[in-house]
Structure 1
Amino acid sequence: MALMEESTTQGLLQAHDEFWHLSLSYIKSIALAAALGLGIPDAIHHHGGGATLPEILAKTELHPCKLRALRRLMRVLTVTGTFSVVQQPPAGDDDSTVADASDEAVYRLTATSRFLVSDEVSSATLAPYMRLVLLPIIFSPVGEHICAWFRQEHHEPSVFALEFGQQAATVWEEGADANAILNEGLAAQSRFLVPDMLRECGEAVFRGIDSLVDVGGGHGGAATAIAAAFPHVKCSVLDLPHVVAGAPSDSNVQLVAGDMFQSIPPATAVFLKNVLHDWGDDECVEILKNCMQAISPRDAGGKVIVMDVVLGLGHDDKSNIKRLETQVMFDLFVMMGNNGVERDEQEWKKIFIEAGFKDYKIIPIAGTHSVIEVYP
């Protein structure tokens, strides 16, 4: 029976990955349109067929502040096979970070991307035809504005804001229909993902916790599942007043109206599910500092529990390439929507340290997500 149940769970998780991959596949076309619009294939070609990120940045005349965004775009384009990448060791023996070292990676044309080089003397170029094929993307608001966003000398507003004239967060807050769609969608995701997380590592993660605040927990879907699995844990949800006001009245967890950027109610632990990927590094550090103020000391069970994507974790196996594609495509999705970030381990470590935390532990769970325990 247990083996059958495990087999069924794995099948559902595989179907979930496939569902996410299919729903985000349009991001591949957006990334390809952006590469053409910014002249990335030509930039690599004019560097002899291989170029680093700074070289591509200079050749495409993008502002240096867009280096990280360019890295994220190129990650989609390499994972999905448009370009290849070879990691070069950084010069010298200094303590370069992984993010710095990735600037030394050399991006190369593949047989596929050679067709995208706009070389007028070459009969092999299919760049004009590809622009024709991608016309719906290129002429769409998002296709037009992603290139404009890359050429800005700043990060604000987001691609979404360039397209619609306001930030995504404003739409969620001020539009009743949009807010309902957001909270219903997040609740549906929690109903699927959280029980799996609890099966995989719930006993280890929630052992020793007396109380928990689910920050940005919407209508309480995740907190309700945690409270049902661990009745001894007093669970509450912190979210903005307009979110709490629309929550069902039959919730068995306490709903608290507030702002995580101001303060977080005290508890043994704080739970952050798919919250930090909506924010840039500075905002994440601010949120985590407020978490630090709210939680108990480590020897009393205090910690922050982050349920989010850790890019590339456990994806050395080529059979998991579709899962990695899903992660990097979603990274571009959150970048366009609200300048959010999906992070690799070193990027997570950086914001944890800046917020004053001493240690962390990553627990890979099936699917695209991981659980990170962050200790004061």
Structure 2
Amino acid sequence: MVETHQQPVTPVPTMAALSNEEELLQAHAELWNLTFSYLKSMALDCALKLAIPTAIHRLGGAASLPDLLAAVPVPDSKKPQFPRLMRFLAATGIFTIDAASGFYGLTPVSRLLVNDDNAKNLSPFVLSQTNKYHVTAAMRLPDWFTSDEGAAGVDMPFRMAHGTDMWAVMALDPKINDLFNAGLAADTKLAMDFIVTNCGDVFEGIASLVDVAGGTGTAARAIARAFPHVKCSVLDLPNVINSVPADGIVDYIVGDMMESIPPTDAVFLKYVLHDWDDDVCVKILTQCKKAIPESGGKVIIVDMVVGSNANSKAMFEAQVVFDLLMMVVTAGKERDEHQWRKIFMDAGFSNYKTKPVLGFLSIIELYP
């Protein structure tokens, strides 16, 4: 009898096994990208401080590595590392790279970062959010969630990290105060350009408007220029108002929105209420209601309504990322429509209407 020896049979992977392996590999890559995503913010911060988007723009919209190295302030000792930074920025969608020529170009994202008399330049906004105070506060988020005793049991990670809130830091640090105000002004310029062009009906029927916590007056100036019949004023704290030169376009008033708001047909609140918890928001809105007439008065709010107009993953992620930022640096939050409605009713208002504006933002008209 002839003895036969069978060769070992290699198992053929099933479709399910292949699928699970592909999912594992994809999950592994995604986990790495999430783990090191803080480097995206730091690389973006670096690109702006080196003015790389502006350099590419001034070089005609496409630039080689030697062109860029001649245009940006990188010392000779760091020049060998510069290609690695550019490769990363291209891989993350900040720039394009042409495989054949090796030239870098601008994307829709980096076009928003060109500092060259660009009305849509958001570089100051990015830099205002990647500052050391914000980043250090974000690093305390796990401690904040797991601690509830003593100094750790505070209302926000920012206070845990710095011993005070963001407003006190800005009052004490003129550099961060200027950086933050410049950032808000840049973002406001973009938003207001869209609003006055596409939402002009919001400003019909009013003769006066107070931009509460209006910073350096970017929003109020945009409204005054677009609608000359509206007399615009800005109400803000001394550390903001005292550094703003008179421009003859809007009036600047030193004051505290928690205490009183000057009488006006309309109160304008852009990115204000998300900084505060519900009780404080009701207090602010109560002051707004006192300032406007019962007939014809209104409060105009530009902020996020979480879930509204979130018709893409990027739009919804922008809303919830900003909500997490509010958790880190303030005692406030981004609100969905139900949460907005509650504080409106608690403050004694009777009606409101909401419409999406500029992607993930909304404009709300609130009536007594």
Q: Identify the TM-score tier after normalising by the shorter chain.
A: 0.5 to 0.7
2:300 is aligned to 305
1:177 is aligned to 175
- Displacement of 1:155 after TM fit? 6.7
Q: Match of 1:336, as an amino acid?
A: V
Once the two structures are superposed, what CA deviation does each residue of 1:119-164 show, in whole Å capped at 9, x if it has no partner?
xxxxxxxxxxxxxxxxxxxx97633443334532797331011112
Is the partner of 1:227 in helix, strand or coil? Answer: helix
Partners of 1:169 and 1:194 in 2: how far apart? Answer: 24
Is the partner of 1:336 in helix, strand or coil? Answer: helix
Q: Please show how residues 156-235 of structure 1 align to structure 2 within 5 Å.
A: 156-202=154-200, 204-235=201-232
1:261 counterpart (254, 258, 262): 258
- Displacement of 1:339 after TM fit? 1.8
- Displacement of 1:196 after TM fit? 0.2
- Displacement of 1:251 after TM fit? 4.9
Q: Match of 1:277, as an amino acid?
A: H
Q: Match of 1:243, as an amino acid?
A: V
- Displacement of 1:337 after TM fit? 0.4
Q: Match of 2:286, as an amino acid?
A: K
Q: CA 1:238 to 1:27, structure 2 compared with 1: closer, same or farther past 3 Å?
A: farther
Is the partner of 1:341 in helix, strand or coil? Answer: coil
What is the TM-score normalised by the length of structure 2?
A: 0.61
Answer yes or no: is the 8 Å Cα contact 2:137–2:157 preserved in 1. Answer: no
- Displacement of 1:304 after TM fit? 0.2
Once the two structures are superposed, what CA deviation does each residue of 1:261-301 show, in whole Å capped at 9, x if it has no partner?
00000000100000000111010000000000000123xx2
Answer yes or no: is the 8 Å Cα contact 1:149–1:158 preserved in 2. Answer: no
RMSD, aligned CA: 2.4
Partners of 1:190 and 1:294 in 2: how far apart? Answer: 24
Answer yes or no: is the 8 Å Cα contact 2:144–2:156 preserved in 1. Answer: no
Partners of 2:277 and 2:136 in 1: how far apart? Answer: 26
Q: Which runs of 5+ in 1 are unaligned?
A: 1-21, 30-138
- Displacement of 1:249 after TM fit? 2.9
Partners of 2:235 and 2:283 in 1: how far apart? Answer: 16
2:66 is aligned to none
Is the partner of 1:247 in helix, strand or coil? Answer: coil
1:363 counterpart (308, 332, 355): 355
Q: CA 1:229 to 1:27, structure 2 compared with 1: closer, same or farther past 3 Å?
A: farther
1:330 is aligned to 322
Q: CA 1:268 to 1:228, structure 2 compared with 1: closer, same or farther past 3 Å?
A: same
What is the TM-score normalised by the length of structure 1?
A: 0.60
Is the partner of 2:354 in helix, strand or coil? Answer: strand
Q: Match of 2:144, as an amino acid?
A: A
Q: CA 1:334 to 1:144, structure 2 compared with 1: closer, same or farther past 3 Å?
A: closer
2:139 counterpart (143, 161, 173): 143
Partners of 1:237 and 1:372 in 2: how far apart? Answer: 19
Answer yes or no: is the 8 Å Cα contact 2:141–2:328 preserved in 1. Answer: no
Q: CA 1:251 to 1:218, structure 2 compared with 1: closer, same or farther past 3 Å?
A: farther
Q: Match of 2:329, as an amino acid?
A: G
Partners of 2:172 and 2:288 in 1: how far apart? Answer: 27
Partners of 2:352 and 2:38 in 1: how far apart? Answer: 34
Partners of 1:240 and 1:321 in 2: how far apart? Answer: 37
Q: Match of 2:159, as an amino acid?
A: A
Partners of 1:159 and 1:151 in 2: how far apart? Answer: 11
Partners of 1:254 and 1:365 in 2: how far apart? Answer: 27
Is the partner of 1:310 in helix, strand or coil? Answer: coil
- Structure 2 residue 344 is matched with structure 1 residue 352: yes
Q: State the percentage of identical aligned residues.
A: 47
Once the two structures are superposed, what CA deviation does each residue of 1:30-68 show, in whole Å capped at 9, x if it has no partner?
xxxxxxxxxxxxxxxxxxxxxxxxxxxxxxxxxxxxxxx
Q: Please show how residues 249-288 of structure 1 align to structure 2 within 5 Å.
A: 249-288=246-285
Is the partner of 2:359 in helix, strand or coil? Answer: coil
Is the partner of 1:191 in helix, strand or coil? Answer: helix
Partners of 2:154 and 2:136 in 1: how far apart? Answer: 20
1:314 is aligned to 309
Partners of 1:340 and 1:187 in 2: how far apart? Answer: 21
Q: Match of 1:218, as an amino acid?
A: G
- Displacement of 1:314 after TM fit? 2.1
Partners of 1:177 and 1:312 in 2: how far apart? Answer: 35
Partners of 1:28 and 1:341 in 2: how far apart? Answer: 24
- Displacement of 1:232 after TM fit? 0.3
Q: Which runs of 5+ in 2 are unaligned?
A: 1-33, 42-134
